[in-house]
Each structure stands twice: as structure tokens, then as C-alpha cells.
Amino acid sequence: MPAIDNPYYSSAFHGDYELVSVGRLELEEGGVIPDCHLAITTWGQLNEAKDNAILIPTWFSGSHQIFRDVYVGPGHALDPDIYFIVAVNQIGGGLSTSPHNADGANAEIAMSRFPHVRIGDDVVAQERLLREHLGIDRLALVVGGSMGAQQTYEWAVRFPDKVERAASIAGTAQNTPHDFLFAKALIEAITSDPGFAGGEYSSNADVVAGLTRHAGIWAVMGFSTEFWKQEVWRALGFETKEAFLAGFLEPYFTVMDPNDLLCQAWKWQRGDVARHTGGDLATALGRITATTYVLPISEDMFFSVRDHEAEQALIPGSTLHVVDDVLGHLGLFGVAPTFLPQIDQHLGELLGTKV
């Protein structure tokens, strides 16, 4: 049984998903996951030519569920009537093998003993999953937001022959130092809680104060200054910004597992495709052969448009398309009615390109 019995990480909250073992996973940082399980959801059917597969990796604190609720469906660019779409939850995200749920063969890496995982480890595990379990050797598209964009870039650089198209939304190929410091502040909000107990708490409820402060820092960086000024949270049914924090942003995070969030944050901090080229970002991005859409969100306070522009200039066959959204980074939730139509337009156009 898992180290922590956290009901949030279940089908009740995330809808149906399947756990698939990809076996022993040797990690880039030297650790091992003895029996790595990936939580996946699929939509649609793989065609005979096996050329209609789309991969969606997940972002920090998110799961496949947001894609089911918002991004995937008939009428959207990510259309299950046309494509075989596979969403894979990231390691440490709480549904795939993670600190709080490591049991059985993974019991030795539960909780504070969970090894450091890199974006590259997720992508290696995903490639194995697709090849060995789903018979997919080539992807029509990899698309992800935030940490999902980090994984998208890792795919395009690491396996250029396997990625026909790539779309990175609100995330960069090489994490910025500012982002590193933002994630550091998030991490320290959690680890400084006495209830965290060095990662050996008995329930996420022990760390509710730290998780709440973590939510408070997201409030500052996750949305835009203008989101707060225009009181956009009113559209979500709240009367005050305090009610929005207490009724939405804080409960969103306080149900989550602290060690799981830390595993993801550590990974996010170090996303960097230039690991493959001795630190040379231009050479790494130059490897990309996928037709690539770079899709920053206009008001994003930490994955800034400027940082996307700098990388896009280094990616052959790429184009930049700024997604206009006053919500900032957390526009990824698709709350603004104008958000998904922009995503659909860009992804539809990208999927229509010949490769």
C-alpha cells in the first residue's frame, strides 16, 4: 500500500486512467525507480499507418484530466475522431509513480527517499511506453504546456526522428534562472513548514500551512498583474480576491502531496535540452526536425514571451504565435473563453502542415 493514502490521486478526482508499468527506470541523476508506472489516458484509435498519434505530457501539479476537460474532444484540434491521443502523467505528479504512492517494488523510494527525476527521465519512460505498449514509433504531434512544454522540447531534441510536429505552450526548452528562483520559493514554502518533517509527514494535512503559502506565491506569479486588477476571478463566481484564494487556489494545492510537488518542482527547475550538447542551447535546438509552434501566453510572468522568442529563433522550421490571455501562465486552465479557440487555431494549423 502507498506510503500516504491521499484520495485526491484517484479516478474520483481525475477520471479514468490506466497504470502501465514500463519496468525499471535508471535515472539521469543516478537513482532508480525499480518499477516505474505511468498513468495514461487515451482517446481515439491508432490508425493502420500508425501516423495519427499525439502525445500530451502534463504540467506541474496537473494531470491528464485538464486535457479531457478542456483541450481534447470533437471539434477541437485535438480531435479523437481523427487522432489517437495519449496523455501521460509525469513521474512525481501523483498518479504515475510518485513519492507518496511508491509501494511494492518501489517501497524503498517512498517519500523523502524518492530519487531526483529529470525531464529526460519522463521522456525516456514515455518513449518506452509508446513503443513497447502502444506500438507507436512516431508521433504526429507532441504538445504540452509549462512542464509539458519542457517535455515536448526534450522529445523533439532527444528523438528528432520520432516527432513530426511539436507545440510548446507557455514553457521553454531551457529553464530560465528566474524560473529556477520562482520554483525555489515554492519549494521553500513547503519544506519550511515544521509539519513537512523532512518529507516524512503522515498526511498532506500536516503541511497545510506550507501548501497554502505555496498557493500564495502562485497567486503572485501564476496570474498577471492585470488579472488581479481587472478582478477576472469574478468570472469564476467569487466575490473577493480573498474568497478566490480560499475557495479556489488554496484548496487546489492543499489537497496535493508535498513530496510529489517537490519532485516536480526540482525537475522543472532543471529542464534543459542543452544537457545533450554540453550546454550549447543553439546546437541542441538545432537538432529539432519537427515543425514547431512556439506558443507563449502574452501575460505570463515567468515563462515570458521574450524567453520564448529567444529560443524560437534557434529552432529550424519553427514559428512563434503569442496566445493572448490576461490570466497569464494559468491561462493554461482554459478559463478564458478566448483561450482555447486560439490554441485550436494554432494546433489545427500545425496539424495541417505536411511533414
Chain contacts with a second copy (rule: CB under 8 A): 176-178, 181-182, 184-185, 188-189, 192-194, 209-210, 213, 216-217, 219-221, 223-229, 231, 241, 301-302, 304, 306-307
Q: Please state, as a whole number, how many other Cβ atoms lie within 10 Å of the Cβ of residue 177.
A: 8
For the question of residue 318 being annotated catalytic, the response is no
For the question of residue 81 being annotated catalytic, the response is no
Per annotation, catalytic residue among 122, 300, 307, 325: 300
DSSP-assigned beta bridge partners for residue 291: 165
Q: Please state, as a whole number, how many other Cβ atoms lie within 10 Å of the Cβ of residue 108.
A: 10
Cα 56 from Cα 76, distance rounded (Å): 15
Cα 91 from Cα 88, distance rounded (Å): 9
Of 7 and 198, CB closest to a second copy: 198
For the question of residue 193 being annotated catalytic, the response is no
Per annotation, catalytic residue among 214, 308, 329, 346: 329
Of 155 and 182, CB closest to a second copy: 182
The position carrying cell 484548496 is 251
In Å, what is the CA distance from 273 to each residue of 56, 85, 280?
A: 18, 24, 9
The position carrying cell 491521499 is 6
What region, left, alpha or beta, does residue 197 occupy, with left being phi > 0 and alpha being psi -120 to 50 degrees?
left
Of 241 and 276, CB closest to a second copy: 241
Per annotation, catalytic residue among 63, 146, 224, 304: 146
The grid cell for 79 is 480531435
Of 177 and 278, CB closest to a second copy: 177
Residue 6 CB, shortest distance to a second copy, in Å, is: 23
Residue 154 CB, shortest distance to a second copy, in Å, is: 20
Cα 236 from Cα 220, distance rounded (Å): 18
The grid cell for 263 is 519532485
Of 102 and 190, CB closest to a second copy: 190
> Which among 24, 256, 59, 25 is positioned nearest to 144, based on CA atoms?
59
The position carrying cell 494549423 is 349
> Which among 340, 318, 303, 313 is positioned nearest to 66, based on CA atoms?
340
Would you please indicate which residues are annotated as catalytic (active-site) residues?
Answer: 146, 300, 329
